[in-house]
Chains A and B, each alone.
Chain A
Amino acid sequence: MIDFPKVLLASPTSASKDYCFDEWIDNVFSLKYPNFDIVMFDNTSDGGKYAAELNNRVSKKYGDRKPKFKCFNSLVIHDAEIRSIYMKLSLSHNDCRDYCLKNNYDYMFHLESDIFPPKDVIERLMFHKKHFIGGMYHIYDGLSRTLLIYNHLELAPNSITSKVCTIDDEILLVNGGVIKIAQCGLGCVLITNKLLKKIKFRFENFNECFPDTFFAEDCHKNNIAVYCDTSIVCRHENRFWGIQGIDY
């Protein structure tokens, strides 16, 4: 009997992502990896109603079937005054991290609740034996749509600016194999327990950077390389930013 490493599929979410939840959870339940659980941390300001609704919906549809599913509300846990989207996301990312460490999972597969990876994504990412490795997906709308891979981070005294992949970069970077990058999004990444113990997710007041960027920056500061498997292309079912405003 093979002992498969224990993986936590962790996902921050909010009621604003409900438009694709049913399809997303079906996709997650169809992942082939044999040893993982699912936890979601909802950051909707509703006293935990949406989280309870998700627990009910999944329980009705999947019953006691594996993987196990749980959803909590981050704001109820922390009773915090949310000052920015960066803070909100950081809270939920850290809830995922804490749950993973507390329950001794070997890896955290961090999957955002509008990302649809291929069914063998966990084993494919795990195969490379990296502390931090992601798959690819696109962001932005229309003519600006591009892969969320950063080929360099620039550190300024009070801010980090990252350069997202341009359409030409896509051609230069993507070779179907594993490449070292400056940063990828946290939308589809496999992170080892060892790395999570070392690095927390964070945000900074007055610095409009997402926790994704800080996490990558902290990896580099700790001499941990960030990788991307360019053979993994996920569907990103983000709402169209141009019409409905920015959707995270």
Chain B
Amino acid sequence: MESTEKYLQQLESTLDLQKELLARLEKRVEMLSAKVEQSAYEDNENCILIIKTNAEIGSLKHIIKEKHDYFVKYSQSVGKEALEFDDKFEGVWKKATHKAKSNDAIKKIIESVNIEKTKENKESKLYIYNKLVSLLND
């Protein structure tokens, strides 16, 4: 449970910049809406900017909500696995590299994977890990 929450936090952190932007856009609307003495032209320009900013806010809110809902579901289904398989990856990779000499399906995966790139991406790494584990168990 703890690792699921930790993974969810990790996922949610990818939304930090969007959330900051959202707060700043909302602040912009607040500042533009404040009563200050200005020309009719400036007032009109402010109103236009408020409309455009609100459109941007609407879209950003949708994206944040969509991703958040997805992250909650995703972390519940793979959270524990995603955090705990890391330690086992090297061992499985070593075993698979050895078995690739006599198993074409494993060989195909080993040869097609850019291991350094894969290690940088948790989801790809998990995908390859699961594939190899299932082939090793066949």
Which residues does A use to contact B, with CB under 8 Å?
136, 138, 140-145, 147, 167-168, 170-171, 174-177, 230-231, 233, 235, 240-243, 245-246
Contact = CB atoms under 8 A, between A and B. Distances in A.
Interface stretch (B34-42, B58-66, B89-97, B99-107): B58-66
Interface in B41-73: 52, 54-60, 62-63, 66-67, 69-71
Interface of B: 10-11, 14, 17-18, 21, 52, 54-60, 62-63, 66-67, 69-71, 74, 77-78, 81-82, 121-124, 126-127, 130-131
Given A170-B63, A174-B63, A240-B74, A143 B55 contact: no
A235 B78 CA distance: 20
B128 to A, nearest CB: 10
27 contacts: A136-B63, A138-B66, A140-B123, A141-B123, A143-B11, A144-B124, A145-B11, A145-B14, A167-B14, A167-B17, A170-B18, A171-B17, A174-B59, A174-B63, A175-B52, A176-B55, A233-B62, A233-B63, A240-B74, A240-B78, A241-B127, A242-B78, A242-B124, A242-B127, A243-B77, A243-B81, A243-B126
**Among A144, A175, A233, A245, residue most surrounded by chain B Cβ atoms (within 10 Å):** A233
Contact of A144 (B62, B69, B121): B121
Contacts of B10: 143
Contact of B63 (A147, A240, A245): A147
Contacts, number: 86
A144 B118 CA distance: 12
A230 B59 CA distance: 7
A148 to B, nearest CB: 12
Contact of A145 (B17, B59, B70): B70
Contact of B127 (A170, A233, A245): A245
B21 A171 contact: yes
B126 A242 contact: yes
Contacts of A140: 123
Contacts of B81: 243
B18 A241 contact: no
A210 to B, nearest CB: 18
B67 A142 contact: no
Contacts of A235: 66, 69-70
Given A142-B82, A174-B56, 7 more contacts: A142-B123, A145-B71, A167-B14, A231-B58, A231-B59, A235-B66, A245-B131
Given A170-B63, A174-B56, A177-B55, A144 B123 contact: yes
